[in-house]
Structure 1
């Protein structure tokens, strides 16, 4: 196997960001959407990220003219940091798996590993499960709340489909990226999307969708192609170890 395919975990992480921020207030500039390289073989053991890597991973970033604030990751549970883990899903490489009870999202890789993200999920009664495909992806999407949400929260009517939705931006509930899930050719209204609310990760607060911090959803967007298979579990999925 060529050495260029044998990416260490450290070089892989550094490749996922465009520039290391040397100060917490500094911003990096995101590159155009691209596929993130996936190693064909991963060295073991899989070690946690260093402090420098975490600072770079969750630094402020400018993306398509939008300045995304840094994530105060030190205030998050470390298990929700983006990281490579041993794959617990048993799914084929390229599959996206949502572990709703665990508050994790996995992108399965070749060789028995997966990239794991911490997520916030829907409140009880608004959660979807099953299998579908990522039929559509959008960078800096407009937010158009569905009619049933507007019925529960009438003040959202100004962002309805008829009114053109909410403009893209860091305050938009869909964040920097959105991936739209279809099942049997129909929109499930279930989304994987970014969020400025880093403190919602690990919690059940959203109306049915899976939210990631914006820095993580940008990374996810680069890994997941159109028509990728997605499986959403409401039953417990064994959490993967980080090392």
Structure 2
């Protein structure tokens, strides 16, 4: 579903990704872990098409909703979203003056228009939004408020998962979704990811520092990203080893 080959990228002339290769199959949740400064957020921004992140080599192939393989890097950010890619931010931004309901309806109908589909009516959209908000235990009154304004860290992450549920992407790149969550919110968000994205025709690249989210989401594979490259890939037990032994011991073994 997502195939990254020998990806190189830099920010302000500084190389961050240095030959990263990774493949995520349809139906798979693939966790990325690694020390600070390894390039995890840079990878997510490059996949999402954030300005300022320059790709200097390599390729990213993405399978659209109809199964067609496309060059993801050749698309603008909004085209990537319409093709079925969703990017969840470590720090969701506030958008004063714009309600969540307004923002989400416009985003969904813009993507539907790009795919040649009819827009959802106001009533149909509110029904969909209520359903997805319920999955994340979020009251509809929260969605009537300005986007993320005055929200706690946990509320921002739950609102972002509601957005993912409404947009129904084929592939989600989630950058440290567990950041700022307490124990209860972590479980709600993790269960939301499972409900929305666990399907044979979908995929998830889940970037995290900690085992605690993986206890809920239960990834199929785990990779360690260090110094801009994938240095080791294994099953869920690899994340538990990192939790128990730390990065130094596990990466020293990988380099041996």
Q: Under TM normalisation by the shorter chain, which class is it?
A: under 0.3
State the TM-score, normalizing by the size of structure 1. 0.26
Of structures 1 and 2, the one scoring higher in RCO (CA 8 A, sep 6+) is 2
State the TM-score, normalizing by the size of structure 2. 0.25
